[in-house]
Chain A
Amino acid sequence: MPDALEVAGLRKSYGSVQAVRDVGFTVRSAEIVALLGPNGAGKTTTLEILEGFRTRDGGVARVLGLDPGDRSSARELRERTGLVLQDIAVEPYLTVRETIARSAGYYRAPRRVADVIGLVGLAGLERRKVRSLSGGQKRRLDLALGLIGDPELLYLDEPTTGFDPAARRDAWELVRELRADGTTILLTTHDMAEAQALADRVVVLSAGVVVAEGRPDELGARNGEQVRIVFTLPGGYVAADLPVTAEFVGGRFVLLTPSPTQALYELTAWAVQRGTVLAGLTVDPPRLEDVYLRLTSDHALASEPEGSTR
């Protein structure tokens, strides 16, 4: 099966500002890919080029085998893609059911309205006016509008912003179900926990270029990220007593190291020798958030991040 999305060498400038300088990535069919990056990194511009809202200055973009910049295939593409935008954009005086039924009428083969209401968790609110919905409920309605056309490819632009934890968990579950049904999903988020939980792969953008790409749990290892070792020591020890360089933060010793095996060996040997214990010892792999923050700040400081990119 061909890739759902193919992007290569994508470029876009607004006046003298190069919003997207060189972006390339692919999304396979039925894959969830998260596009990450700080504000101004080029995520929204990239997404809008793929959605057909903006023209590109250069590069290749194929969406479900079609060119999003080609007006003649625009309607066909919109039949097959769904999107949930950042802003809540719904008519205030229609009811939930009317809003969804209105959009359903635009598609050749839409999902059933009642099914979509159930999928996004708005059952029981069908007859409520949109203006009386809470922010989180409006976001679910937005999601319903993205799904009603039964899209092959779904764009989610910060889909769970404003959701409470339970609603967010439900939305994640829905996204996973959609993927299981064969829907391809490209999402943006500022929530690294969301990317880690949902995405099969992440693509990190900074200043208009891709600075890293891979599975969320692979990214750290590949970028020489540091493992975090945390423990406490009973009685009187200070950081200087340790055989390794650690910091004393909030009553605990915190150690960041690219070589955890060596560090743990030295630490445990030291503790055994002194007849003490490393209480509450935890060893955490690099969190996506740490990797992300380092990647994007490195890139902002120097134009090339150290270690391997791409």
Chain B
Amino acid sequence: MTTATATAVAARSRRLRSDLRLLAHQVGYEQLSFWRNPQSAIFTFIFPVLFVAIMGALFGSVGKSSYFGGLSALQYYVPTIGALSVLGSCYGQLAVALAARRQAGILKRVRATPLPAWAYFAGLLAHCVLVSVIDIALIVGVGRLYGVPFPSHWLAIAITLVLGAASFCALGVAVASVISNAEAAPAVAQLVLFPLMFISGTYMPIHSTLLNRVSGWLPVRPFNEALTGPFALHTGADWGHLAVLAAWGGLGAIVAIRRFRWDPRPE
């Protein structure tokens, strides 16, 4: 190895370290803002845990049944509500927070600093994944209290979780990019999400073939199914459903990249 390439390698590793430090810095402050804000901490974080606890109280004693596809009620709800928590922490949180930050001029202020855009978004993504992971761990814990065994395929769950979180983050940024009015953002985000979760079996199993076929091409059901496999059915990563999810994530990313604005006033 020549000295020149050695220097280049050293410079690259120095830059990598400083990039990672920047990312950690960014994630740390996103976490701080998130946990300090009662609205995000309660609605985004506590709600899914509370939801699964209530479902456990209501259906904890319902054993395996064909209505829940051969699973017990709580075996069914732990992954679907886990998915719901990811939707809330990623899609819901970003759609609302980014629209609000843009309207308040906070995004413009960030843009005026040397922080690169990639670091801002990577920081948000890592922050959202972190919130999702903590939320899912709590949901699994509550499920365990109601007798749902711990899942065995952790790698498949990790893959599904990161891919799902990334895809729903991209969709959340896309929605925040398309909506310019921060007051409208929560309404629009929920308006899209609520019926979608309903027909995707988040709240109850859907036994309509037509609905299932339609929702199978939308982003929520594939995520539910991809989580249910490794959580309850002892299967590995569900590549078919993950592919549909990734396609939606890619679409979201394209819209986000093309339409995202930092400035509250359009040019």
Q: Which residues of A contact B (CB under 8 A)?
A: 14, 51, 53-55, 75, 78-79, 82-83, 85, 87-94, 98, 102-103, 105-108, 129, 145, 149
Contacts and interface: CB of A to CB of B under 8 A. Distances in A.
Interface residues of B, number: 22
A85 B105 contact: yes
Contact of B109 (A79, A85, A98): A85
B87 to A, nearest CB: 23
Contacts of B105: 85, 87-89
Interface string B173-199: 000000000000000000000000000
B220 to A, nearest CB: 30
17 contacts: A14-B267, A53-B111, A55-B267, A75-B116, A78-B112, A85-B109, A89-B105, A89-B109, A90-B109, A91-B33, A93-B36, A94-B33, A94-B36, A106-B115, A107-B114, A108-B114, A149-B113
B112 A83 contact: yes
A105 B33 contact: no
Contact of A93 (B22, B37, B112, B113): B37
B131 to A, nearest CB: 15
Given A87-B105, A89-B109, A91-B106, A106 B263 contact: no
B105 to A, nearest CB: 3
Nearest to A80: B114
B29 interface: yes
Given A90-B106, A94-B36, A53 B263 contact: yes
Given A53-B108, A75-B116, A79-B114, A98 B263 contact: no
Interface in B94-128: 104-106, 108-109, 111-116
A54 B33 contact: no
Given A91-B106, A93-B32, A94-B32, 4 more contacts: A82-B112, A89-B106, A105-B25, A107-B114
A90 B263 CA distance: 15
Contacts of A82: 112
Contacts of B113: 78, 103, 106-107, 149
Determine the main DSSP class of A at the interface with B: loop
Nearest to B102: A89
Nearest to A76: B114
Nearest to B38: A93
A149 B29 contact: no
Contacts of A55: 267
Contacts of A106: 22, 113-115
B202 to A, nearest CB: 30
Contacts of A54: 267
Nearest to B22: A105
Nearest to A75: B114
Contacts of A78: 112-114
Contacts of B104: 87, 89
B161 to A, nearest CB: 27
A142 to B, nearest CB: 8
Interface string B24-68: 011001001100110000000000000000000000000000000
A149 B267 contact: no
A109 to B, nearest CB: 11
A157 to B, nearest CB: 11
Contact of B108 (A89, A93, A98): A89
Contacts of B22: 105-106
Nearest to B109: A89
B132 to A, nearest CB: 20
A145 B36 CA distance: 21
B32 A98 contact: yes
Nearest to A81: B112
A75 B105 CA distance: 19
A145 B112 CA distance: 10
A98 B112 contact: no
B114 A145 contact: no
B108 A85 contact: yes
Nearest to A44: B265
Nearest to B120: A106
A75 B110 CA distance: 12
A42 to B, nearest CB: 15
Closest 3 CB pairs of A and B: A89-B105, A93-B36, A87-B105
Contacts of A149: 113-114
A90 B104 CA distance: 8
B109 A145 contact: yes
Nearest to B29: A102
A106 B37 CA distance: 23
Nearest to B40: A93
A39 to B, nearest CB: 14
A92 B105 CA distance: 13
B31 to A, nearest CB: 11
